[in-house]
């Protein structure tokens, strides 16, 4: 009997993965790469549905491991031709804990880092939209029986009596909100606030950076600051004109606040489908020199500087972190 294609694929998997690892080792020797790590928050949260937070204890252990094991580079540095694999640390979004929790640990361990900051939230007490979605839907409390999104194009209704039903709604709205532009998302969020009766006051634990904290970050010789749009939209869902606004306005605002030129950028969400060739061209046109995305890979000499791969780091202890780094470097 001929084996099923699925069985054949499964049988070939170890061989493919061995070949892939050998090829990557060869490439890494030929041209030692930079591995860019992606963080969001350093704090401890009661609930973290997007798994964005690394605890201060684990973050300190991770930074000690990097310091003890690898050459470290800043994203804004001239990397020249590295003689061995180096690592760069980056943070997206601009949470207040980047200054309160991450910076002291970076300074203690001497690890350089780049912080990509969304300028629309800077200095406000508003939560980022994915956090507010969580606050309005997933926190314990009394909720109405149903939520209906009475939008012209989408008259969709969800049952919301149980925590499980609200988790489904959270997932669906998170996906939907990524596909619309900022005014539409803001109007859906207003409806959700009215529906839940929870108001719009953001939690201190989820606060974005204020201007003093941003200045404190930017003063550190270990830190570079990059842009991350104004309202954190999914760029591929926007017209070219709206993309240009988001990209250039965030650069200009940061330059105005920091009094220095900002040449680094990271795409919101950063997956291959979250931005387009137009986004890359607009970033080049705006004067950015390195732009970070969010898909697996290593940065070689030949890597497109407008689509630098990064690896997400989770709340891992030192041992688990070391295992993941090996995987990031060779698979």
Residues of this chain that interact with Zn ion (CB under 5 A) are 92-93, 268
Residue showing the smallest CB distance to Zn ion in the complex: 92
In the complex, the smallest distance separating the C-beta of residue 118 from Zn ion, rounded to whole angstroms, is: 7
In the complex, the smallest distance separating the C-beta of residue 252 from Zn ion, rounded to whole angstroms, is: 19
Q: Which is nearer to Zn ion, 248 or 250 (CB)?
A: 250
In the complex, the smallest distance separating the C-beta of residue 228 from Zn ion, rounded to whole angstroms, is: 6
In the complex, the smallest distance separating the C-beta of residue 229 from Zn ion, rounded to whole angstroms, is: 8
Q: Which is nearer to Zn ion, 228 or 244 (CB)?
A: 228
Q: Which is nearer to Zn ion, 59 or 269 (CB)?
A: 269
Residue-wise DSSP of 122-163: TTS-PPPHHHHHHHHHTSSS---SEEEEE-SS-EEEEE-SSH
Give, for 226, the enclosing helix (H) or strand (E). strand 223-227
Strands 155-159 and 146-150: what pairing? Answer: antiparallel
Q: What backbone phi and psi angles, to 5 degrees, belong to 290?
A: -135, 135
Give, for 165, the enclosing helix (H) or strand (E). helix 163-178
Q: Which is nearer to Zn ion, 34 or 234 (CB)?
A: 234
Q: Which is nearer to Zn ion, 52 or 299 (CB)?
A: 52
The answer for residues whose C-beta is within 8 angstroms of residue 217's C-beta and 6 or more apart is: 98, 99, 103, 115, 209, 223, 225
In the complex, the smallest distance separating the C-beta of residue 40 from Zn ion, rounded to whole angstroms, is: 7
């Amino acid at each position: 009997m001929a084996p099923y294609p699925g069985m054949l694929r499964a049988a070939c998997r170890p061989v493919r993965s061995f070949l892939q690892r050998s090829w990557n080792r060869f490439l890494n020797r030929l041209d030692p790469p930079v591995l860019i790590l992606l963080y969001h928050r350093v704090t401890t949260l009661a609930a973290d549905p997007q798994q964005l937070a690394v605890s201060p204890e684990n973050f300190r252990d991770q930074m000690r491991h990097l310091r003890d094991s690898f050459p470290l580079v800043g994203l804004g540095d001239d990397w020249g031709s590295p003689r061995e694999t180096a690592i760069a640390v980056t943070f997206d979004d601009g949470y207040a804990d980047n200054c309160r929790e991450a910076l002291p640990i970076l300074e203690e361990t001497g690890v350089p880092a780049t912080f990509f900051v969304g300028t629309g939230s800077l200095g406000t007490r508003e939560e980022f939209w994915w956090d507010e979605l969580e606050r309005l839907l997933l926190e314990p409390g009394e909720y109405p029986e149903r939520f209906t999104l009475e939008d012209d194009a989408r008259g969709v209704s969800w049952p919301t009596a149980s925590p499980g039903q609200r988790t489904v709604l959270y997932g669906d709205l998170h996906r939907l909100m990524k596909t619309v532009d900022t005014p539409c998302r803001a109007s859906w969020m207003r409806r959700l606030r009215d529906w839940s009766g929870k108001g719009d006051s953001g939690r201190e634990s989820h606060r974005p950076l204020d201007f003093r904290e941003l200045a404190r970050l930017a003063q550190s010789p270990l830190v570079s600051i990059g842009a991350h749009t104004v309202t954190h939209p999914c760029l591929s869902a926007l017209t070219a004109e709206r993309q240009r606004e988001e990209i250039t306005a965030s650069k200009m605002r940061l330059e105005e606040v920091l009094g220095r030129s900002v040449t680094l950028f990271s795409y919101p969400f950063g997956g291959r489908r979250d931005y387009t060739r137009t986004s890359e061209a607009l970033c080049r046109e705006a004067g950015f020199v390195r732009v970070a995305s969010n898909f697996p890979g290593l940065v070689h000499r030949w890597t497109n500087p407008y689509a630098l791969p990064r690896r997400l780091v989770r709340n891992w202890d030192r041992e688990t972190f070391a295992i993941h780094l090996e995987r990031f470097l060779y698979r």
